[in-house]
Amino acid sequence: MGGFCFDSLFGSEGEDPEVTPALKEQVVMAIPVDIANDDLTRSLPNLQFRRLVGGVLKKERCQEPYHGHILGLPKSRFKGNPCYYTTEMLDVFVTDGFQRKTLAAVRALGRAGYSVGVGEVTRWAPSLSSRYARQAWVYPSDPINWLLERSSQWRVLMPMEEELLLSVMDRADEFSCRLPFTSADRIRLVRDKAWVARQPEAPPVVDRAPCVLKPRVGSGSRGRIYCETDREFERHFDETMVAQERVEGEARCVSLLYDMEGVLSAAFVHRRLHEYPVDGGPSTLRESIRDEVLVERACAVVDRVGWQGVIQLEFKGEYLLDINPRFWGSLNLAVEAGVNFPDLLIRVARGEKVRKFDYRVGVRSIWKTGELLRTFSGKRPAWHGVDDYFDSRDRAAGWMSWCSPIPMLTHFRSFLKPR
């Protein structure tokens, strides 16, 4: 029987599996779908089903355009925007597939042997085209109800961005899967820059220039303003901002994992060698280091709150600058150095006792898009010539992986078609 044989998410031409009684038992009858391509209709068995990576392919009409569309099948072949997915229980579903950290998580989990699903509001998210994504979904712009309806199909849900994580944890009791994260109240507490500024490890709070103004709620360098004069300070400062003394020096980040009982399970430290924007922003070149004293200081801050799940604290010199109550942008560096935080998070969600404090020191990771932008500011890049730009260090950069190159192509394609 000729036609489509879904051996992977992308599909391939081949022979259909023989329809045996054992296979019929796996069939889940679904809502009929109008299929536009007559050739494809004739290639389907009478029961209209397929195996897909060990599961059964179900078909249903989507409620909105593109939502629930699996990238492995061309949308243009079908009427009614049907969605295709396996009925198998996934180990983990990861959200926010457009982010570099999400792609790092999907790859890390896939290599560790988990069945992974990933979703985003756009089909041009790089993670959706990763070879390690068993399922790839385009969900609504406000996906909380979509996630609730499907939570019984996953063992663990892993929101990657702060806002969605808060929305999920606000309704944690309604989900059918595990949510290995701390409460929404604690997340809101530590994301508040005013609370961070009140900690004894933080830089002094000031009421005049020179200083740095930070929005009370925000991530990365968004909304950060450096004031050199009192006039600048008066123009920009309001009750939504926090004014602190500006701190110079090398930035170091401590990434931690706490189990569901609040016990420290893993720790990782890296230093920022380059940043973009150059006056303070996401790191473009970083290196794994060991700093046990800094880990102890970071744990002292977290212990004042009590925590479950992942968290990252940023220090510069002796001062605490920021806290990320979620996965961080440089996640891939920790994975490449030997601390697979996504895998460890699932293990602690299962109740396992995990202790991971050893990792390789001196591993470097480059965000080459950001590093390229940094060179436009007149800074020397972290490579020498074109050949060095494409060397093996790129495997820790986030987008590029020779084992799974399509996400990088999707990343560049997204610039041609906006989200």
On whether both 232 and 297 belong to a single domain, the answer is: no
- What is the rounded CA–CA span in Å between residue 309 and residue 345? 7
- What is the rounded CA–CA span in Å between residue 333 and residue 82? 38
On whether both 234 and 261 belong to a single domain, the answer is: no
On whether both 274 and 324 belong to a single domain, the answer is: yes
On whether both 268 and 395 belong to a single domain, the answer is: yes
On whether both 210 and 274 belong to a single domain, the answer is: no
On whether both 227 and 349 belong to a single domain, the answer is: no
Domain range enclosing 361: 251-400
- Which of 79, 163, 65, 162 shows the shortest CA–CA distance to 123? 65
Q: What is the CATH number of the domain that holds 332?
A: 3.30.470.20
On whether both 301 and 395 belong to a single domain, the answer is: yes
- Return the axis-axis angle of helices 100-111 and 341-349, rounded to nearest 10°: 70
On whether both 224 and 355 belong to a single domain, the answer is: no
On whether both 218 and 345 belong to a single domain, the answer is: no
- The sign of the dihedral angle between the CA atoms of 180, 184, 185, 186 is positive
- Which of 157, 262, 279, 149 shows the shortest CA–CA distance to 212? 279
- Scanning 288-329, the segments in alpha helix (DSSP H) are 292-303
pLDDT tens, per residue, the chain with 419 residues: 222 223 333 333 333 444 444 444 443 332 233 333 333 333 333 323 333 333 333 433 333 333 333 433 333 322 333 334 445 689 999 999 999 899 999 999 999 999 999 999 988 888 998 889 999 999 999 999 999 999 999 999 999 999 999 999 999 999 999 999 999 999 999 999 999 999 999 999 999 999 999 999 987 667 889 999 999 999 999 999 999 999 988 999 999 999 999 999 999 999 998 887 766 677 888 999 999 999 999 999 999 999 999 999 999 999 999 999 999 999 999 999 999 999 999 999 999 999 999 999 999 988 777 777 777 766 666 554 433 444 444 444 444 554 555 555 554 454 444 44
Flag whether 115 is in a domain.
Answer: no
Flag whether 265 is in a domain.
Answer: yes
Question: pTM score, two decimals?
Answer: 0.76
**Count of CB atoms situated within 10 Å of the CB of 205:** 13
pLDDT of res. 308: 98
On whether both 270 and 211 belong to a single domain, the answer is: no
pLDDT of res. 132: 92
Query: Both tokens of residue 387?
Result: 């050949």
pLDDT of res. 416: 47
On whether both 291 and 395 belong to a single domain, the answer is: yes
The tally of domains found in the chain comes to 3
Query: Both tokens of residue 281?
Result: 């922003």
Residue 285, CB-side half-sphere exposure with 13 Å CA sphere: 17
Flag whether 81 is in a domain.
Answer: no
Q: Are 342 and 109 in contact (CB under 8 A)?
A: yes
Instruction: Give bridge partners of residue 243 from the DSSP assignment.
Output: 213
